[in-house]
Amino acid sequence: MTNISFEFFPTQTESGTEKLLKVRDRLAQENPEFISVTYGAGGSTRDRTRAIVKAVQESGVAAAPHLSCVGDSKADLREILLDYKEMGIKRIVTLRGDLPSGTGMANSELRYANELVEFIRQETGDHFTLEVAAYPEMHPQADNFENDLKNFERKVKAGADSAITQYFFNADSYFHFVERVQAMGIQIPIIPGIMPITNYSKLARFSDACGAEIPRWIRKQLEAYGDDQASIMKFGEEVVSDLSRKLLEQGAPGIHFYTMNQAEASLAIWNNIK
Ligand code: FAD
């Protein structure tokens, strides 16, 4: 059976939370391994992340809070970890985070995700399963692919159990990344992060920011649809279902959906491939 997991981000309003609880209940029926909840670097969503983490747990699905190190002190991080431990959380998505531009690193005692992995292991031993981020198309700030691989290795050596990738639309970039890290002796599962395509302008903006490439043929087709939302959804579903099917058929150990707090698009893909 294929393992799937989903990602939520913390809501800002009561009505947003109500909608998300419905999405949670629908996705829970698919028996995901976990639902993760993003964290605003520097603690900007600390309470809101916790609230959604709690709501996920209440549905009986394991919740995996994201936690990033830039902008938070060790004392802040320690407090969050102990709180999660008391709540019965067993898995954390461990990140460096991106501070909003103009925000200083003043509070930061840990600068990279490998340092946060090490810190969590020091503080809580093996209590948490630790997921880290992987970038098949290279992290946008990395000097080059080789150095990025070495930095990925640091996270694994520090004690990461598994990795979730940034989204991508080119299956070969994933297989190339997996091949390269396996050649370095790294054996942890690397779960592809899958982004459903539902809105071209949002996707283009996100992709520019995180360094994910939208292949020309996909970009051109989406541009051609203009405001025809139904065609964008249909084409997006086909493209991302084909990608996900190929990944699983060729050995990817599972799928992590970036749901954008919506059930339909992820479920449509999942129903096509499961
Ligand atoms: P790192 O692994 O620390 O890498 C960051 C950069 O520094 C890379 O270029 C790397 O090559 C380099 N580097 C790493 N270690 C070292 C070192 N020791 N010395 C020198 N250079 C080094 N962001 C959020 O703010 N909140 C979230 O909830 C969130 N969730 C995410 C979930 C996933 C699955 C992914 C893929 C990303 C997520 N992000 C989130 C975005 C992430 O925080 C950014 O991509 C960030 O820029 C890097 O985080 P990282 O953990 O990969 O950092």
Residue with tokens 């025809």: 228
Q: Which stretches of the chain are assigned E, i.e. beta strand?
A: 3-8, 34-37, 63-68, 91-95, 129-134, 162-165, 190-191, 193-194, 254-258
Q: Indicate the average pLDDT of the chain.
A: 96
Average pLDDT over residues 241-258: 98
Q: Give me the residue spans of the domains in the chain.
A: 3-273
Contact indicator for 131, 176 with CB cutoff of 8 Å = no
CA atoms 234, 231, 27, 259: torsion sign: positive
The candidate with the shortest Cα–Cα distance to 112, out of 81, 89, 139, 144, is 139
- As a CATH number, domain 3-273 is 3.20.20.220
Across the range 131-154, mean pLDDT stands at 97
Do 266 and 27 touch, CB atoms closer than 8 A?
yes
Q: Is the CB of 39 under 6 A from ligand 1?
A: yes
- Centre of ligand 1 to C-alpha 97, Å, is 6
When pLDDT is cut at 50, 70 and 90, the band that residue 120 belongs to is: very high
Q: Is the CB of 142 under 6 A from ligand 1?
A: yes
- Residue 99 banded pLDDT, cuts 50, 70, 90: confident
Q: Express each pLDDT in 251-272 by its tens digit.
A: 999 999 999 999 999 999 999 9
DSSP class of 263? S
210: confidence class by pLDDT, cuts 50, 70, 90:
very high
- Residue ID of nearest Cα to ligand 1 atom 2: 113
Task: Look up 7 and say whether it is catalytic.
Answer: yes
The identity of residue 59, as a single letter, is: S
Average the pLDDT over 182-203 and give the result.
Answer: 97
State the pLDDT confidence band at 108, using cuts at 50, 70 and 90: confident
- Does the C-beta of 131 come closer than 6 Å to ligand 1? no
69-98: per-residue pLDDT in tens? 999 999 999 999 999 999 999 999 999 999
The model's pTM? 0.98
| Among protein residues, the one whose CA lies closest to atom 23 of ligand 1 | 97
* pLDDT of 101: 76
CA of 150 to the centre of ligand 1 (A): 13
Protein residue whose Cα sits closest to atom 13 of ligand 1 = 151
Mutation test residue for ligand 1: of 96, 137, 188, the one with most atoms within 8 Å of CB = 96
* Token digits of residue 224: 């051609």
Spacing, Cα 271 to ligand 1 middle (Å) = 31
pLDDT, mean of residues 4-14: 97
For residue 94, the CA-to-ligand 1 centroid distance in Å is 9
Q: CA-CA distance, 52 to 94, in Å (whole number)? A: 17
Spatial distance between the Cα atoms of 54 and 84, rounded to a whole number of angstroms? 10
